[in-house]
Amino acid sequence: MLQFIEAAHPIFILAVIMAYMAFGDFLTKKTRAFLPSVFIMVLLMAGSVWAGLIPADIVRRVGFAPPLTAVATVLLVANMGTSLKLKDITSNGRIVLLGLVSLAGVALGCLTLGRWLFGWYHAVIATPVVGGGIVAMLEMQSAAADIGGERGQLLASLAAMILAVQSLPAFLIIPPILKRAMAKDLAAADPEIIAAGGVETPGAAEAEAKGTYLPDKYWSPATILCALGLVGTIGWLVNRWMTGLVGHFAVSIQIVTLLLAIALTELRILPRNAAVKAGINGFVLLIVIFNAFSAVLAIDLPQFLSLLGPVAGMIAAGILGILVVTYLLARFVLKMDPGFAFVLGLNCLLGFPINLVLTQESIGSLANGNPEVEKYLTNKYVPPMLVAGFVTITIGSVFLAGIMRSLL
């Protein structure tokens, strides 16, 4: 099998790696999203490498090389910026604050308890990944590559493994706490308000999408790719300029690209969800995912096992930090249910659409077929969960990764 894959056409290798992902998606649906598809995919691919069934460099053999990954990462970040609606952020100020403070809690837990248990390098690499998504992980893998050698390779694998499994504890923690908060809310709420479906949380209703100054018919895939490429180019030039001024502390290309994409979309220069509109978002995401997790394939089984402790420890330290800061903020500043505040903070471990799935399942179990209760809970709990996930993963974790990288 190994020799056949090594001599095979790249299209067959693509089919092989996609089979791993498809099987992961299948098991995720079978387990109602309890087992993350990426976790299953990484575990199966790593096991296949260790068993000698597939080569460790299978991702490169299909053509997903570092230059392509660099392009895909910038496109992914730029698309994140075009998907953001500032109104949804500004109208949920308390949730935004809670999300950002939750990331501070992750940093607090990882850089204190995590550092004490596993050392400075492990703590710095892990912090943005525990508090964010794939872009933060890619940033820290790049930082690990700068360290080089076996240590850099292990740190890159640590980042990948954390991202692959970080949602597992959230699946166990969020539903019971969220249901308890909803049940308390229903018990205290006026039946007439529940019957009316409640009052929509600001930002829950989608604003009417406005087009760009350039008519839609001119936004072809080529035009969109050109526009996103130019946004990323400006991010790269700004990063180079800042590197010349402040060296290692320069703002990363990802942060500049994200902010610029947000601004240009709000100014109606870039279209909303640009990469989706161009039909490239899914493929770009696949390139990023496979390259990001290929770091795990480069280590052997003993090294993999040696990382299990740091992975579990860093995630636990981050969750503990979130618990502490969200409790204090909810109890003494925001005057809200500390349990729901903790759940909102844990969105950094999930993000969309998993946070939406868990929220809808909790609502369904409490509503028990009552459409009025379901509408009331949906209006009150879905928007904050979505905003919390967006603030932590899409915005906050990218900035946190830039800060942490400068500390190595």
Summarize pLDDT for 134-159 with one digit per residue, the tens: 778 888 988 898 888 888 888 998 99
In a domain, 103, yes or no: yes
In a domain, 78, yes or no: yes
Summarize pLDDT for 101-131 with one digit per residue, the tens: 999 999 999 999 999 999 999 999 999 999 8
In a domain, 337, yes or no: yes
> Quick one: pLDDT at residue 309?
92
Residue 186: its H or E element? helix 167-188
For the question of whether the overall pTM of this predicted structure is more than 0.75, the answer is: no
In a domain, 240, yes or no: yes
CA distance 391 to 344: 11
Range of the domain at 175: 65-133+164-282+312-408
> Quick one: pLDDT at residue 15?
92
> Quick one: pLDDT at residue 204?
39
In a domain, 275, yes or no: yes
Q: Rounded to 10 degrees, what is the CA torsion of 16, 21, 84, 256?
A: -50
Residues of the chain with pLDDT under 70: 1, 32-36, 88, 195-210, 247-250, 351-354, 357
The full DSSP string for 254-306 is HHHHHHHHHHHHHTTSSPTTHHHHHT-HHHHHHHHHHHHHHHHHTS-HHHHHH
CA distance 67 to 71: 6
In a domain, 75, yes or no: yes
CB-side exposure of 262: number of CA atoms within 13 Å?
16
Residue 373: its H or E element? helix 371-389
* Number of domains comprising the chain: 1
